[in-house]
Structure 1
Amino acid sequence: MKNPSGERITLHLDMDSFYSAVEVREQPELKGLPVVVGSDPKGGMGRGVVSTCSYEARELGIHSGMPISKAYRLCPDAVYLRVNLKLYKEVSESIMGTIRIFADRFQQVSVDEAYIDVGDSINDYHSAILLARKIKNEVFRLHGLTCSIGVAPNKVIAKIASDHNKPDGLTVVKPEDIQEFLSPMHISKIPGIGTKTQPLLHEMGIETIGQLASSDVQLLISRFGKSGVVMHQLANGIDMREVKEREEVKSVSTEDTFDEDISDPLQIDRYIHELTEKVHESITRKHFRFRTVTLKVRFEDFRTYTRAKTLHTATTDKETIRKTAMGLMEEFLGKGRFRLLGVGVSKLEKLDKGQTYLTDYLQQ
């Protein structure tokens, strides 16, 4: 979407070394060690591949997609862990819920990356940079993980930018800087130009994005068909794709991990109120009403519980979220100190813009 100034600004967020970073978060004793997530190396005889690895392991030459046997030969003393998809999916859902709050349009493209379109709420790159920093800070504060963000006029440049200064990077590419940014890069930096296409381009004397951008498009078409046109456009920083949800949004939620555990009912009420504000702002911007309210609590000893209540009718009422969440909270009051609280809504229904509901009016 274009903002009021006529410019289009897209953010791409990419979690840093996601699987291994989650493992290190769960096992702090692994911090600073080369951690490799993948299949069992079986003493160098394993036949699987590396799913991802920590930056300490990357410094030793290990990388995603490498045969696990080769990784073991490079560093037999690394910490080798099996893939725990259930854990990574749970962490991903929580992180994406945090990010989604900031977006007018949100497109998750994998377990660890997403595009963010803030539409009319962002007017310039200065504001976009401030938002990107806020998102990075929130992801780290709430989830203890770092991410890298690219800010650019479109999706392809934003994605390339997010990978430009990892880990914990923030790279901004304004429209006037596109060619200077892209031209020196190897063609492999363009998403979709993989190991099969690269040798063919090399045979044509094309190694950098700049060379691809200035190539004869008819020659590219003769070699690659319609893909030649797409490659040429991407190399020139042209990408007309919009940020859009790939599937229906099923829920909206947010949570907060406290610097110090809390038990005071007044504090709890204040945090529930703040979480409610964030959730309500998000569903209002996305034109949803809800039927179910969910509360998440985590005690100081990491015991975690969720409770939910489904209403008789769907509503957009903010006070209903807060009152329902506080009602669900009563079960846990006086039973310990809390390190995390979360509020969410689900069973969402899409509203037409401008549509009002008598049920909402009667509840106000």
Structure 2
Amino acid sequence: MAGGTLPGTERDAPDRIVLHVDMDCFYASCERRKDPSLAGEPVVVGMGYEAGETHGAVATASYEAREYGVESAQPISQALENLPRMAAATGAGDVERDPDLDPAECGYYRPVDMDYYQSVSEEVKEILHDCAETVREVSIDEAYLDVTDRTSWARTPDGSRTLAEGFARHVKTRIDDEVGVPASVGVAPNMSTAKVASDHDKPDGLTVVEPGSVRDFLAPLPVETVHGVGPVTARRLAAMDVETAGDLAAADPAELGAEFGERGRELYARARGEDDRAVEPTGRPKSLSRESAFTEATADEDAKREKVRKLSADVADRARRKGALYRTIGVKVVEPPFDVNTRASSLPGPVDDPDLVAEVALDLLEEFAGREVRKVGVRVSKLDFGETDQSSLDGWAGAGDDESESEFPASASTGPTSAGSTAADPPDDTATLAEWASEAEVEPDDPETLADWAEVAGGDGPSNADDPGGGRGHERHREGQASLGDFDGESE
């Protein structure tokens, strides 16, 4: 594991150790990373929103913006009533200054930049995959990790904390230091409790629920904090005099079953801290990648090439262990401050060839010779898990320019370009940052794109209906951002 193995790791823990990592106001945090001057300011990111317009819906509101009554899935027009645009108060850009607006009571509005958010998400998930063998990516901003084989519920010699807490803090610190966005982490013996724990102390929180204390932790919490209980279900439970998780745990399971069917019994078990679901990845990966940051941005060619060689070997080894052949080899280069560039080349057929991965990656890296770089990554994609005969190296090497497909022309970049450069449009089948950002295949009934969300939600955000049969209606109140990962029913 990068960063070293944590001391005191044990293998005899009788209970699972599950981490739920949830990025805080993720889209707003990404905008702050892009523009550090937004730190501490109210930030609203809108889907279906264009700068200066009043249509669309709130995808994310920072905690500062929420103090003015701006919430996820709220229409932008309503958000503007609660928190006017800073541009209107200051006369920034082409906006005429409104003397009646106080800048201290205004916020910054930004349209969604999904390519950028996906690239930041991949940086986070690269750390998560490095910290755990088993990762379930739920959406762009959250994931479960089973770290039972990496740490333990045993306590440190001074008894101040569990080793699991130290491990979770290590994960949080890596995300903050290497990516620059905050995360809240919940640690518990099962998935549903870990999710409740990650929401318990936001933002930038760390909550550990040890085995044996799960029911005591859950009991006093409002019933809607139980994973799977949304506002509609909470109202129906309130009509049954069930107000807290403890009330739900003490309720008659037969009555819950009569009212909610199998889901009622499931919620009853979760309120009691009972959840035997395994943390399982969501399908086969679409790509495999490794990234590594330099301590400081560097233009040292030897340092860049050596890091790319190591990453190439690691990625090729991962592919071989997973039984995957690959047809596309690419690099990711991040220039200061966070300008993301990707380049890739495709082969005539799928291969398993570690030397070729390094050769192609180093060749693609040449475009950035003499330029300062803060992070590099190597990726293989167009994966094949079947019995396909792999193409020979000779066949690929002799294909020539006419048969070898370069997915990114020398001038193409999917990230911000430096001044004076141009970014050509890649062909339709190009490796994009969206692909790079997702190593786990999204399930067909769990789309993550804002375009899909907007189509389902009609542009003004989701409804509050939380009946699993009624579509994606669960709204995450005042937490996180609106995304279809949240609206795909209330139970996993």
Q: TM-score surpassing 0.5?
A: yes
Out of 35, 44, 62, which is 1:36 matched to?
44
Determine if the alignment matches structure 1 residue 314 to structure 2 residue 343. no
Shift, 1:58, TM fit: 2.1
Deviation of residue 350 (structure 1)? Answer: 4.7
What CA distance in whole angstroms lies between the structure 2 residues aligned with 1:207 and 1:241? 26
Displacement after TM superposition at 1:152 (Å) = 1.0
Checking the alignment, whether the CA contact within 8 Å between 2:223 and 2:229 is kept in structure 1 is: yes
Q: Which one-letter code corresponds to 1:222 in the other structure?
A: A
Q: Shift of the alpha carbon at 1:181? A: 1.0
Structure 1 position 234, deviation (Å): 0.8
Aligned partners of 2:211, 2:321: CA distance in 1, in Å?
28
Q: Residue 167 of structure 1 aligns to a residue in which SS?
A: coil
2:351 is the alignment partner of 1:343: no
Correspondence list, 1:1-364, <5 A: 4-38=12-46, 46=54, 48-76=56-84, 77-124=106-153, 126-276=162-312, 279=315, 282-283=318-319, 286=322, 288=324, 290-300=326-336, 302=339, 304-308=341-345, 310=347, 314-315=351-352, 317=354, 321-333=357-369, 335-350=370-385
Change (3 A) 1:332 1:347: same
- Opposite residue 375 of structure 2, the aligned amino acid is L
Question: Which secondary structure does the structure 2 equivalent of 1:340 belong to?
Answer: strand
The residue type equivalent to 2:294 in the other structure is F
State the Cα RMSD in Å.
Answer: 3.2
Q: How far is 1:14 from its partner?
A: 0.6
Q: Deviations over 1:153-207 (max 9, x none)?
A: 1110111111111112121111111012101100111222112111111111111
Give the SS at the match of 2:122: helix
1:276–1:129 CA distance, 2 compared to 1 (3 A): farther
Superimposed CA distance per residue, residues 90-144 of structure 1 (whole angstroms, 9 cap, x where no aligned partner)? 3323432332232322211111111112353444464433432332223223321
Secondary structure at the aligned position of 2:220 is classed as coil
Task: Give the conservation status (yes or no) of the 8 Å contact 2:48–2:57.
Answer: no
Aligned partner of residue 180 in structure 1, secondary structure: helix
Higher strand share: 1
Task: Give percent identity, aligned residues only.
Answer: 36
SS at structure 1 position matched to 2:231: coil
Q: Tell me the distance in 2 between the aligned counterparts of 1:322 and 1:276.
A: 5
> Does 288-297 or 336-345 show the bigger shift?
288-297
Q: CA deviation at 1:54?
A: 0.9
Matched to 1:306, the amino acid is R
Describe the shift of the 1:350–1:316 C-alpha distance in structure 2 as closer, same or farther (beyond 3 A): farther
Letter in 2 for 1:51: A
Any idea what the Cα deviations from partners look like across 1:280-302, whole Å, max 9, x if unmatched? 56546655454543222234584
For structure 1, list consecutive stretches of 5 or more residues without a partner in the other structure: 360-364
Where in structure 2 are there 5+ consecutive unaligned residues?
Answer: 1-10, 85-105, 155-161, 393-492
Q: Report if the CA contact (8 A) 1:40-1:68 is conserved.
A: no
Hey, what does 1:362 align to over in structure 2?
A: none
Is the 8 Å Cα contact of residues 332 and 340 (structure 2) preserved in structure 1?
Answer: no
SS at match of 1:248: coil
Superposed displacement of residue 271, structure 1: 2.2
Aligned-partner Cα distance in 2 for 1:271–1:166: 36
Rounded to whole Å, the distance in 2 between the matches of 1:73 and 1:245 is: 42
User: Which moves more between the two structures, 122-131 or 20-29?
Assistant: 122-131
- Counterpart for residue 439 of structure 2: none
C-alpha contact (below 8 Å) 2:316/2:352 kept by paired residues: no
CA offsets, 1:246-295, max 9 Å, x none? 23201121223434321223322332244346545654665545454322
| TM-aligned CA deviation for residue 214 of structure 1 | 0.7
Does 1 or 2 have the higher relative contact order (CA < 8 Å, sep 6+)? Answer: 2
Matched residue type, 1:87: Y
The structure in which a higher percent of residues are helix is 1
Q: Is the 8 A contact 2:330 2:342 kept in 1?
A: no
1: CA distance, partners of 2:175 / 2:386 = 29
Give the distance between the partners of 2:380 and 2:333, measured in 1 at CA.
Answer: 15
- Aligned partners of 1:285 and 1:122: how far apart in 2? 23
Number of aligned positions between the proteins: 350
